[in-house]
Amino acid sequence: MKEALSVLCLVLLVSVLEAAVTKPKFGDFIGCLRYRTSPENPITDAISIADNTTAFLSSYVSYTKNKRFLSPNYKKLLAIVAAKHVSHVQATVVCAKSNGIQLRIRSGGHDYEGLSYMSSVPFVILDMYNLRSITVDVSSKKVWVQAGATLGELYTKVNDVSQTLAFPAGVCATVGAGGHISGGGYGNLMRKYGITVDHVIDAQIIDVNGKLLNRLLMGEDLFWAIRGGGGGSFGVILSWKINLVEVPKIVTVFKVNKTLEQGGTDVLYKWQLVASKFPESLFVRAMPQVANGTKRGERTIVVVFYAQFLGRTDELMAIMNQNWPELGLKHEDCQEMSWLNSTLFWADYPAGTPTSILLDRPSSPGDFFKSKSDYVKKPIPKEGLEKLWKTMLKFNNNIVWMQFNPYGGVMDRIPATATAFPHRKGNLFKIQYFTTWFNANATESSLSQMKELYEVAEPYVSSNPREAFFNYRDIDVGSNPSGETNVDEAKIYGSKYFLGNLKRLMDVKAKYDPENFFKNEQSIPPVRVM
């Protein structure tokens, strides 16, 4: 009993000491924010103190996309600063640094492991969603887009001035431009035009000293690092200047399902042989998922093939009949539409949904989920696919799917060192594994099932290292504690995300943030590599 009491007293003492350390520092932090901003752009309304009020909770959850991280860590989270002006971002960086408070930066809230709004040391969230301006210069085909703008807002703004210009980014309309682009975000124009970072020509970033830098001022090494190396290790991305790409007025899409009973495994095996060799104007995603079978209570796998072709149906049918007749594509499976409408098709909205839905910003999180990723260099044999199906069918009541996203085209021609994003030539496709559940009690079993699926895939994917996609954040590939960055551990996750580019990223980090202020559980360590 005495031992238990002494342990309890010790825990309480530690809590009191932690509070004593944090509270005065927090007061200094708030004072510093006010001192460093002007009355013309007051910061007071942008600050939400972390208390258990409805107003604060609503500010926290509106950009919390994964229900696994729905509850704020009130012991550690001190405040949210929802910056409304550049000076607010600058002040938050300087004041957090000078008071020893960690900073987490959130643009759209889509970090799969919640690292943009969670920490186990005292921290502040810098929310970027108010900084969402988009300026399109249609004559030069260039755009300045702020970090807090969503992809849906970007696509809409571009479409307002031109129906034949687009940007090769992702299909989720609510993703924030800041994190999506800095992590090497991609979409269905990847085979024709590469990925987001291949079209960034300038950027604005707030550095560790609170200075606003553009490409000229930051220098080419930092500009290289933030294009695919994740902005969160190097500073706060304020905005990107991007080149737009040309698309035809009409594109063609299709969605075709093949169950196992309809030969789905054979059709998918052939997809692996042809998808990366199709003309680069054709992108066909394969999506194996668990579905209900024909008999009551029976479950099966259906492979859904989604496609986008930068051209008309007749030309697409000719390509498919020649290269992949096994799919059995029919003329009536194809739909012709504008590129903007194709973004609704990819997001699985029903036909006829108005494009204004691309501007929606949901104010509450979706479901509980876990994602993982892999890169595939040679076709997975049919027996390998069947092992994956067997494992997917073990998931309890979860929604579970994989996405196979084809490479080839221009991705084979852009050097791995052109930007910090390294996954280029030599890949047939990238896999995203994804499972969703609806009850917190199912979290442990769901995470365990996902690990099993990932283990079953191991013989068929890249190795040494087993590569991973940074924007499909996965804490299982290696991580550090919130408040420190162990270099050996960082090399484990860093080599999977960044391959041979990790050394240069560490050099850049050492040059621009030597004290490692910008850090999270999977950040780049500031180490000069000899």
472 classed as catalytic: yes
Its sign, for the CA torsion 421, 478, 523, 369, is: positive
Contact, 178 vs 148, CB < 8 A?
yes
Query: For helices 2-35 and 86-98, what crossing angle results, to 10°?
Result: 140
Q: Which residue has the tokens 């539409």?
A: 337
Encode 344-360: b = buried (16+ Cβ within 10 Å), e = exposed.
Answer: bbbeebeeeeebeebee
Element (H, E) at 432: strand 429-437
List b or e across 449-463, with b for residues whose CB sees 16 or more CB atoms inside 10 angstroms.
bbeebbebbeebbbe
143 alpha carbon, distance to own chain's centre: 21
298: amino acid identity, one letter: E
**515's tokens:** 């004290």
Side-chain-side CA neighbours of 421 within 13 Å: the count stands at 26
Residue 506: how many CB atoms within 10 A of its CB? 24
Please report the DSSP string for 470-505 in residue order. TTS--GGG----TT---HHHHHHHHHHHHGGGHHHH
Neighbours of 73 (CB within 10 A): 16
- Catalytic residue (one of 63, 155, 472, 493): 472
Q: Distances in Å between the alpha carbon of 265 and those of 52, 217, 255, 377? A: 51, 53, 17, 19
Which residue's entry shows tokens 């706060």?
A: 236
Residue pair 166/242 in contact by the 8 Å Cβ criterion: no
DSSP string covering 75-109, please? TTEEEEEE--SHHHHHHHHHHHHHTT-EEEEESSS
Catalytic residues: 472
